[in-house]
């Protein structure tokens, strides 16, 4: 394997081995704690523009399975693992992870101390990092410049280019507002019998409302939610229509901002399939899949909004119910693949809000 170096903005250098594509890149470095679901991680549009570090030490053991993708290709900038499995074993496998990343021109690094890297991020927070072929002569100047770089993604990089329809024979109809949606969000509504009109992030309010859908689903996506000023303004108009709204992840944040709340950046975010949340009404705990670096500040919620879920570890906002409009939202992913599926019932809650509880799935 070829050598490469991961350089952090604080000047620390990690020698590594390459797999996947060659090349050099700079991006924000984040970690995710999922023990399974690496294919879903690779193809999650919310990771667009980031270097993703897997904390689980062995990745690639069940190969590449295109049926499990959340989008058509990897969204991230680079991928870091402790050990890469070169000989996957799974009856569904279509090839190795290394070959797949090389084909998709995604840089991979292995052989690093991922535990040490994760502890650094937990202590200092997410940071910029660079993957290079050589260590720069002036590492101090290089890391200082890296620290000052603005390396973040945006919804425009991942939203669809034009409006299209999924499951056109569905009995009822929703609009899926695409900020970088994961395939399984749509699949959950399709298996409940819904026709889906997927619209780009920049779609005007008039067009969205013209579809006269039973409900509007606000998808996940990458980046700082507060930077989406035009979308937030449009969403504020749509929210006044009295059409039921369900926001997931970035969609949750954008709806809250449209209603007057504020967002804040988390130290190292919530990324992984083992994030515990508490249902405030029932006091029940759920294990959820999450992928976000920002959260809504609970103290800034307007009077028309009520906190519905909180994160067990840091008490941040994980869900909101609105009292003045038919809408609710969650920070986590109820459609999670490969799991957990504890909160899948929220899609049925959305259907009930649209007046179609008879279409709910057990």
Same domain, 204 and 307: yes
How large is the greatest C-alpha to C-alpha distance in the chain, in angstroms? 66
Helix 229-239 / helix 250-258 crossing angle, nearest 10 deg = 70
pTM of the model: 0.95
Residue 152: φ, ψ to 5°: -145, 160
Q: Which pLDDT score, from 0 to 100, does residue 337 have?
A: 84
Q: How many CB atoms lie within 10 A of CB 83?
A: 15
What's the total number of domains in the chain? 2
User: Any idea how long the chain is?
Assistant: 362
Determine if residue 37 is left, alpha or beta; phi over 0 gives left, psi from -120 to 50 gives alpha, anything else beta. Answer: left
Residues near 216 by beta carbon (within 8 Å), at least 6 away in sequence: 174, 175, 176, 177, 208, 238, 243, 244, 245, 246
Same domain, 219 and 125: no
Range of the domain at 70: 3-148
Identify which of 330, 246, 334 has the alpha carbon closest to the alpha carbon of residue 280: 330
Same domain, 173 and 217: yes
Helix (H) / strand (E) element for 74: namely none
Q: How far apart are CA 336 and CA 69, in angstroms?
A: 12
Same domain, 236 and 328: yes
Same domain, 162 and 128: no
Same domain, 245 and 219: yes
Q: Which pLDDT score, from 0 to 100, does residue 338 have?
A: 80
Residues near 320 by beta carbon (within 8 Å), at least 6 away in sequence: 252, 255, 256, 296, 301, 305, 306, 307, 308, 328, 329
Same domain, 353 and 205: yes
Residues 285-310 have pLDDT tens digits of 999 999 999 999 999 999 999 999 99
Residue ranges in the chain assigned as alpha helix (H): 38-42, 97-103, 114-124, 139-148, 183-190, 205-210, 229-239, 250-258, 345-353
pLDDT lower than 70: segments of the chain: 356-362
Q: Tell me the two tokens of residue 213.
A: 């859908």
Same domain, 68 and 215: no
Where residue 31 sits, what CATH number does that domain have?
A: 3.50.30.20
CA angle (279 as vertex; 273, 284 as ends), nearest 5: 85
Q: Which pLDDT score, from 0 to 100, does residue 356 have?
A: 66
Q: Which pLDDT score, from 0 to 100, does residue 308 have?
A: 98
Same domain, 130 and 208: no
Strands 215-218 and 172-177, how do they pair? parallel
Same domain, 209 and 76: no
Residues near 207 by beta carbon (within 8 Å), at least 6 away in sequence: 199
Which residues participate in catalysis according to the annotation?
A: 249, 333, 335
157 in helix, strand or coil? helix
């Amino acid at each position: 394997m070829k050598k490469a170096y991961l350089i952090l903005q604080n000047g620390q250098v990690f020698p590594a081995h390459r797999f996947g594509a060659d090349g050099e890149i700079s991006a924000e470095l984040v970690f995710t704690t999922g023990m399974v679901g690496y294919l879903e991680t690779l193809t999650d549009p919310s990771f667009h523009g980031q270097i993703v570090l897997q904390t689980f030490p062995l990745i690639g053991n069940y190969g590449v399975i295109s049926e499990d993708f959340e989008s058509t290709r990897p969204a991230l900038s680079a991928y870091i693992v402790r050990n890469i499995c070169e000989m996957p074993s799974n009856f569904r496998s279509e090839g190795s992870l290394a070959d797949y990343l090389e084909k998709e021109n995604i840089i991979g690094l292995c052989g690093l101390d991922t535990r040490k890297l994760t502890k650094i991020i937990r202590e200092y927070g997410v940071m910029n990092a660079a993957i290079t072929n050589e260590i720069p002569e002036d590492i101090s100047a290089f890391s200082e410049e890296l620290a000052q770089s603005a390396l973040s993604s945006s919804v425009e990089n991942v939203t669809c280019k034009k409006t299209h329809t999924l499951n056109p024979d569905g009995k009822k109809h929703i609009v899926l507002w695409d900020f970088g949606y994961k395939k399984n969000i749509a699949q959950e509504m399709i298996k409940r019998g819904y026709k889906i009109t997927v619209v780009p992030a920049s779609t005007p309010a008039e067009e969205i409302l013209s579809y006269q859908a039973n409900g509007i689903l606000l998808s996940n996506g990458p980046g700082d939610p507060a930077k989406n000023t035009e979308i937030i303004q449009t969403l504020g108009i749509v929210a006044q229509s009295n059409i039921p709204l369900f926001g997931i992840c970035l969609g949750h944040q954008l709806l809250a901002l449209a209603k007057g709340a504020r967002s804040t950046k988390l130290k190292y975010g919530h990324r992984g399939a083992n994030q515990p949340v508490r249902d405030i009404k029932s006091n029940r705990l759920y294990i959820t899949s999450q992928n976000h670096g920002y959260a809504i500040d609970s103290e800034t919620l307007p009077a028309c909004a009520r906190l519905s879920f909180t994160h067990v570890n840091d008490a941040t906002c994980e869900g909101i119910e609105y009292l003045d409009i038919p809408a609710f939202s969650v920070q986590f992913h109820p459609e999670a693949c490969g799991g957990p599926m504890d909160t899948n019932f929220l899609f049925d809650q959305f259907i009930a809000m649209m007046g179609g509880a008879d279409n709910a799935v057990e």
